[in-house]
């Protein structure tokens, strides 16, 4: 997905807090435990318990979105899904400290009492109320609270944001309460994936591979970038994915050097490369994979040399991953040095011949999960985190853009390539285009 800029990647990494050991939420799962969205109810309950512990004596209020347009398929907010598994439009969750006057440590709110009760049965949350009752129910708790966490920006930054409305309701009840953004606390938990989350990601990757198989056979001179996108969506739907995790990035020829290229009606031409960056979403978890295809079915010698260099850098980066030691900064510096040391050269804007690192113009990768650019990882990569590794080269003077992106699970033994079933070697890509 639209690769992270070098500056944005550094800022995101620096902003995330160190992972607490409690974030490892896949340690114990009851046999035959009830499931929801591919995860056990125990996993959701564990996350809520950890968030309550992190919040201390504060209230946590998690709100979800509502359908904005009848033409758009509703998607619940990541925070409510991560903590409850509820997809009910307008659902909210309150996490309360021990001894709270309400008498519960967690309450699920949904539009209508019957809907709330049904969501409670689905999610395993015992205390439920109608959304209409939320503020009356929580008033005694809010009146005595010193801190209240909500989803979204707070203070002046919340103006014109949904979180601003929530903040106003809180301040109307308790002007002295300190209102804080809960997302950094949730981010700590989301870095390490549970068994259910990893299973969802594997399924999303499988659906994405189905999209690539459809697209690869469609790429030929005269087809448009938009049509290629259509074939990827066909593969997604046939594999059971209702949504894409992000808008497709597809560009051929001069458009292939634009790392953020939205597919256009431009017809691809023989001899060009086509960058296809896509991801299907399953149970709210998204894959993110990129392959580059030669229009006409075969890479030119120059394209093949660049492609092989990129693939070798990706493989070398994956082999360097050591849980608890390797950082994003380490990997990115290593990747750039590998490109710099290559004997290949390309012409820059002023006609000078430059080393390959000058044409690697984005970050090496990012976290992956509920968001395609998932919560950042500021320190060493922990066991259970899922990342992308996506080196690429973009040479405007030759109208050649090439990127290879795969998804990896960080394990005690290194990096497991979750997308290994998708061909990545140049010869295999050519065979894939022939339907083999």
Which residue, 190, 213, 232, sits at the end of a domain? 190
| Structural domain includes residue 10 | no
Same domain, 155 and 290: no
Give the domain CATH number at 257: 3.90.230.10
Residue ranges of the chain whose pLDDT lies below 70 = 1-2, 4-32, 65-71, 157-160, 436
Each as own residue / partner, the long-range contacts of residues 132-140 (CB below 8 Å, 24 or more positions apart, any chain) are 133/109, 134/92, 134/94, 134/109, 135/169, 135/173, 137/94, 137/102, 137/107, 137/109, 138/59, 138/61, 138/94, 138/102, 138/107, 139/173, 140/101, 140/102
Same domain, 167 and 283: no
Burial grade of 287 (CB within 10 A; 0-12, 13-18, 19 or more): buried
Same domain, 196 and 312: yes
- pLDDT at 16 (0 to 100): 36
Which residue, 190, 208, 242, sits at the end of a domain? 190
Same domain, 249 and 345: yes
| Structural domain includes residue 13 | no
Burial grade of 394 (CB within 10 A; 0-12, 13-18, 19 or more): buried
Number of domains forming the structure of the chain: 2
Give the domain CATH number at 150: 3.40.350.10
| Structural domain includes residue 3 | no
- pLDDT at 10 (0 to 100): 44
- pLDDT at 165 (0 to 100): 87
- pLDDT at 386 (0 to 100): 98
- pLDDT at 27 (0 to 100): 41
Structural domain including 254 reads: 192-433
- pLDDT at 96 (0 to 100): 98
| Structural domain includes residue 1 | no
d(CA 192, CA 194): 7
Which residue, 131, 155, 190, sits at the end of a domain? 190
d(CA 248, CA 372): 12
Same domain, 175 and 216: no
Q: Are 317 and 363 in contact (CB under 8 A)?
A: no
- pLDDT at 64 (0 to 100): 82
| Structural domain includes residue 5 | no
Same domain, 63 and 132: yes
Same domain, 300 and 172: no
d(CA 284, CA 199): 12
- pLDDT at 20 (0 to 100): 36
| Structural domain includes residue 7 | no
Same domain, 243 and 326: yes
Helices and strands in the chain: count of H runs, count of E runs: 12, 21
Same domain, 177 and 241: no
d(CA 123, CA 72): 25
Same domain, 167 and 216: no
Pull the structure tokens for residue 325: 């030691």
């Amino acid at each position: 997905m639209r690769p992270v800029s070098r500056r944005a990647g550094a800022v995101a990494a620096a902003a995330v807090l160190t992972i607490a050991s409690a974030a490892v939420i896949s340690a114990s799962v009851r046999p035959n435990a009830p499931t929801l969205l591919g995860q056990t109810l125990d996993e959701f309950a564990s996350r809520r318990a950890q968030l309550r512990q992190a919040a201390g004596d504060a209230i946590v209020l998690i709100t979800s979105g509502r359908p904005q347009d009848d033409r758009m398929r509703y998607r619940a907010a990541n925070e409510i899904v991560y903590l409850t598994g509820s997809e009910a439009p307008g659902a909210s969750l309150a996490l309360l400290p021990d001894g709270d006057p309400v008498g519960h440590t967690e309450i699920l709110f949904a539009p209508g009492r019957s809907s709330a009760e049904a969501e409670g049965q689905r999610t395993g949350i015992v205390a439920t109320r109608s959304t209409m009752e939320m503020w009356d129910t929580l008033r005694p708790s809010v009146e005595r609270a010193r801190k209240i966490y909500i989803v979204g920006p707070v203070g002046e930054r919340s103006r014109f944001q949904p979180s601003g409305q929530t903040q106003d309701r809180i301040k109307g009840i308790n002007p002295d309460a300190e209102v804080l953004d809960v997302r950094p606390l949730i981010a700590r938990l989301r870095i390490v994936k549970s068994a259910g989350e990893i299973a969802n990601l594997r399924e999303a990757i499988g659906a994405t591979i189905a999209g690539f198989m459809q697209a690869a056979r469609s790429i030929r001179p005269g087809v448009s970038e938009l049509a290629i996108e259509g074939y990827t969506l066909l593969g997604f739907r046939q594999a059971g994915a209702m949504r894409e995790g992000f808008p497709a990035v597809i560009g051929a020829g001069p458009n292939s050097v634009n790392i953020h290229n939205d597919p256009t009606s431009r017809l691809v031409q023989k001899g060009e490369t086509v960058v296809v960056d896509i991801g299907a979403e399953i149970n709210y978890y998204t894959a993110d994979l990129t392959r580059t295809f030669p229009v006409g079915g075969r890479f030119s010698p120059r394209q093949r040399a660049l492609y092989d260099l990129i693939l070798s850098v990706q493989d070398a980066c994956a082999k360097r991953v050591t849980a608890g030691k390797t950082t994003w900064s380490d990997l990115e510096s290593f990747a750039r040095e590998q490109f710099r040391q290559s004997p290949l050269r390309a012409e820059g804007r002023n006609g000078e011949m430059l080393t390959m690192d000058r044409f690697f113009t984005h970050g090496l990768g990012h976290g992956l999960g509920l968001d395609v650019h998932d919560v950042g990882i500021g320190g060493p990569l922990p066991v259970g985190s899922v990342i992308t590794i996506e080196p690429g080269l973009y040479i405007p003077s030759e109208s050649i853009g090439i990127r290879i992106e795969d998804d990896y699970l960080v394990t005690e033994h290194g990096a497991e390539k979750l997308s290994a079933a998708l061909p990545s070697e140049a010869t295999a890509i050519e065979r894939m285009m022939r339907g083999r």
